Chains A and B, each alone.
Chain A
Amino acid sequence: MYTTELGKQPNVKPIGPAEDPALLEAFEARVAADEFIEPKDWMPEAYRRTLVRQISQHAHSEIVGMLPEGNWITRAPSLRRKQILLAKVQDEAGHGLYLYCAAETLGTSREEMIEALHSGKAKYSTIFNYPTLTWADIAAIGWLVDGAAIMNQVPLQRTSYGPYARAMVRVCKEESFHQRQGYEAMTELANGTAAQKRMAQDAFNRWWWPSLMMFGPPDENSPNTAQSMRWRIKRDTNDELRQKFVDITVPQAEYLGLTVPDSALKWNDDKGGYDFGEVDWDEFYAVVRGEGPVARERMTARREAWEQGAWVREAAAAHEAKRRKRAAA
């Protein structure tokens, strides 16, 4: 997911003596009562750190996520599709902005966060390290990637940190359009010419497993889930969300006449959900480490945009300073 805890190590250090147990107890009680924590409120350092990491990772995912889709804006096959895709990618930029703002309320500047992304210290969703080869990839991303994002973000509207929860409310309003346009584009392809059908199935084959990886490592390998759930930073486990995604998406694929690329996929009456094959976790961790097929391209594109934009940002600051000086004179 855009926000999955990607580390395998527990990241919550034991609470130091500096943290007042009475404050901590009051904090825990407020969170347990589903109250929102606001920027000025006292919070444990580990809560703050976890949130900065999660929200900035989410923001970076929105921004890096513009690249695979941006790759097709100039080649969208109709004026309508071009407008829809532009509007969608523009939404993602907006999501990135809301999220950077939410993270800034925790005392980390946007420059610091961007610096952490460009140095490779901060992560972003593994899904954006795969290439968009054909137009069907754009359809698949809307349908599957935004679909998975919705599944993760809807519960985050009730996350314990107020600014994050409110950012998610705005984001979620736009996500359903993203998924719908993707599914609609995929429907057109799945009902189209032989070449279009081939594109559709091929894109589905390539995006299915990486989409399942978006929910993060299996619960037994996700040491921080319990703490995050107790703090209401997270509201469902990775495996719960993954199961939900599979259960909802498989019938959608069947409706389109697409074959799910998983020979182990089978309806399980007892659990009222699908059994499905094992995700390739070696691949997942490799992509987390930055070994995804186009990870280098993605980071290069972001760094170049930032570096080539430096003179523009400097000019804006210089002009603003001159203007102030003139106004004061």
Chain B
Amino acid sequence: MPSLPPIRPEDEAVAEKVRLHGAFDAPAELPHDPARTEYLLRLGDDALILGQRLSEWCGHAPSVEVDLSLANLSLDLIGQATLFLGEAGDADQLAFKRDVLDFRNCWLVEQPNGDFARTMVRHLLFSTWQHLLYQRLSASTDPAIAGIAAKGAKEIAYHRELAAEWVVRLGDGTEESRARTLDGLGWCWRFVPELFEVDEQLADAIARGIAADPREIEPEWRSSIGAVLGEATLEVPADTRPILGGRRGHHSEHLGHLLAIMQYLPRTYPDANW
């Protein structure tokens, strides 16, 4: 195999420029502060992917009232995603022109909606976590993150309440709704440990006060979820072996399909504005 010429510094500069302007499939560019950018992507991608999932319900929910609520949740999340991703770079470029390996969301949010019970269980688990996290983040040393989180915490408080009410209704409703809720819990519970995972990137951001330490909110998360499940007459599932990887771009099979749909227009017409 012929050896490749060495990379000249001027080529590197050109490559850098292209990447910053959002070349397709370039790894997410990490300007200045990689740990901060990484953290913003995690927060933004969680919100974006869950918002996208919830929007799939539009027009198909069990009642008009539920349709309205789900659209509301989705709107809040996509709004938060826009702000977090906007801090990390060009929000649209990041949302529509990265591929699976560069997405930093957790496995829980990319799970298919399943039935309404699974959607609500997923939302309870996630929004309880997100609410506790955002509350802490509103004291982040990073003013942008603190601001977005403080505003978001108010929205997420409602998400949590709504999801908790539904999980109680469904768990304590009929035989069928109870079975479906248990099923949803079984589906989602595998992805709980990832919410509290701290890897090197996150440890760095925590050390600098940019990020909140998810391990510190775990006890409160568990007691809060336990209380809701108790009211729903359901037992807290046993913990299983953690499924990890989302934070490093290693996702379930579902994310690729979600992205194929979400990114189709900007991918098909790369030079268009909308």
Contact = CB atoms under 8 A, between A and B. Distances in A.
Q: Are these two chains actual partners, yes or no? A: yes
Interface of A: 63, 66-67, 70, 73-83, 86-87, 89-90, 93-94, 96-97, 100, 135, 185, 188-189, 192-193, 195-196, 301, 304-305, 308-316, 318-320, 322
A82 B274 contact: no
A312 B61 CA distance: 10
Contacts of A86: 55, 58, 71, 74-75, 78
Contacts of A189: 274
B274 A312 contact: no
B161 to A, nearest CB: 16
A63 B67 CA distance: 10
Contacts of A74: 52, 55-56, 261-262
B116 A73 contact: no
- Interface centre among B48, B67, B75, by most A CB within 10 Å? B67
Contact of B58 (A66, A97, A100, A135): A66
- Interface centre among A81, A83, A195, by most B CB within 10 Å? A83
A312 B273 contact: no
A281 B64 CA distance: 33
B272 A195 contact: yes
B242 interface: no
A75 B96 CA distance: 10
A309 B169 contact: no
A319 B234 CA distance: 14
A75 B174 contact: no
11 contacts: A66-B59, A70-B59, A77-B272, A79-B78, A90-B71, A90-B72, A93-B67, A195-B269, A309-B63, A312-B117, A314-B173
B59 A301 contact: yes
Interface in B41-70: 48, 52, 55-56, 58-68
Interface string B239-266: 0000000000000000000000110111
Interface string B196-225: 000000000000000000000000000000
Contact of B173 (A67, A78, A93, A316): A316
Contacts of B95: 79
Contacts, number: 139
B92 interface: yes
B82 A96 contact: no
B160 to A, nearest CB: 19
A312 B68 contact: no
A79 B117 CA distance: 27
A312 to B, nearest CB: 4
Nearest to B53: A74
Nearest to B120: A312
Given A97-B64, A301-B59, A304-B60, A315 B169 contact: yes
B33 interface: no
A82 B78 contact: yes
Given A196-B269, A301-B60, A66 B67 contact: yes
A188 B265 contact: no
Contacts of A82: 55, 78
A74 B274 CA distance: 15
B272 A97 contact: no
A93 B64 contact: yes
Nearest to B95: A79
B22 interface: no
Given A189-B274, A312-B63, 4 more contacts: A74-B56, A79-B91, A97-B64, A301-B60
Nearest to A89: B58
B61 A305 contact: yes
A309 B58 CA distance: 13
B190 interface: no
A316 B261 CA distance: 33
A297 B271 CA distance: 33
B78 A319 contact: no
Contacts of B78: 79, 82-83, 86
B19 interface: no
A94 B68 contact: yes
A313 B272 contact: no
Given A309-B63, A311-B174, A312-B170, A78 B274 contact: yes
A81 B116 contact: no
Given A70-B58, A89-B58, A93-B71, A192 B79 contact: no
